[in-house]
Amino acid sequence: MSDFAALFPGQGSQHVGMGFELAEVYPAAREIFRQADETLGFALSRLCWEGPEEELKQTENAQPAILVHGFAAWTVVKSDLAGRVRFGAGHSLGEFTAYTAAGSLRFEDAVRLVRRRGELMAASRAGTMSAVVGLDSAVVEEVCARVSGEGKVVVAANYNSPQQIVISGEVEAVERAGALAQEAGAKMVRALPVSGAFHSPLMTDAEAGLREALEAVEFKDPEFPVVSNVTAEPVSDADTARSNLVSQLTAPVRWTEGVQRMAQEGIGEFVELGPGKVLTGLLRRIDRSLAGAEIGQPEDVERFSEGKS
């Protein structure tokens, strides 16, 4: 594998047992989980490895859990990646992991930041999200605009692939938009198991708190560009990165455009680090010529190290 992009997943990828085998086999990964426990003041590692699931999936727990697993995987393989990462990118929360891997944030600061981010998001106005499959983004946007015109809040929040858009907003508005999407020909509308309207105006209350938390930590220029969820453009300076991470709370995740931008820059191979393989699966839906591999388990590391990924 030549130059590639390192991808980091977002909330929803968590599962009980995440990172256990990686930490059992690799001391470097085990140390990352230990540092996270010490930083947060509770056994996040135990929650990741043993659950209970209901507690793990709470926003304030899921976000640091996913970051820790992603960074642990990065720590295990980064010596194999030296000089070969041209871009980093992360889906929503995963953008924090990308900046941590790129050396912009100290790991301990990143863990505290995403824990705080999760708390702020959990405390924001109630809402929900649904995935709409099989409609062009323009049609989904039109549906959201129609419902918003009725005085309700619903927006296109995640542009995951050309045919998968997540909508976010007030519960009634998301349900109404989902029904209209089905009438417009959507193949599927699926409610997501979340307690908030992420990447929508309902997250506005969380912005001030996250901005304050980001300003309280040292943020360096990344060692490799990180593609922003907000702009779909590579970011190479700390000030822009910090600003975008705040804006990301209420702005849509432009994942499709970000992947396409990296492909335009010559990236054909991607590695997803952390739990699951959601982002790897989305690659082929965005561009069938793109190849991806996931690194979350010891066998993934072995394949990658042997050059078989």
Establish whether 45 is a catalytic residue. Answer: no
Active-site residue (options: 199, 200, 228, 309):
199
Half-sphere exposure at residue 78, Cβ-oriented, CA atoms within 13 angstroms:
15
Q: Is 179 exposed, middle or buried (0-12, 13-18, 19+ CB in 10 A)?
A: middle
Establish whether 199 is a catalytic residue. Answer: yes
Per DSSP, the residues of 254-266 read: -HHHHHHHHHHTT
Q: Is 164 exposed, middle or buried (0-12, 13-18, 19+ CB in 10 A)?
A: buried
Active-site residue (options: 13, 45, 92, 124):
92
Distance between CA atoms of 58 and 61, rounded to whole angstroms?
5
Reading the block at residue 172, the tokens are 């009634």
Question: What sign does the dihedral 279-281-287-289 (CA atoms) show?
Answer: positive
Q: How far is CA 235 from CA 34, 210, 223, 242, 258, in A?
A: 30, 19, 10, 10, 11
Q: How far is CA 4 from CA 80, 195, 300, 309, in A?
A: 12, 35, 16, 12
- Residues identified as active-site: 92, 199
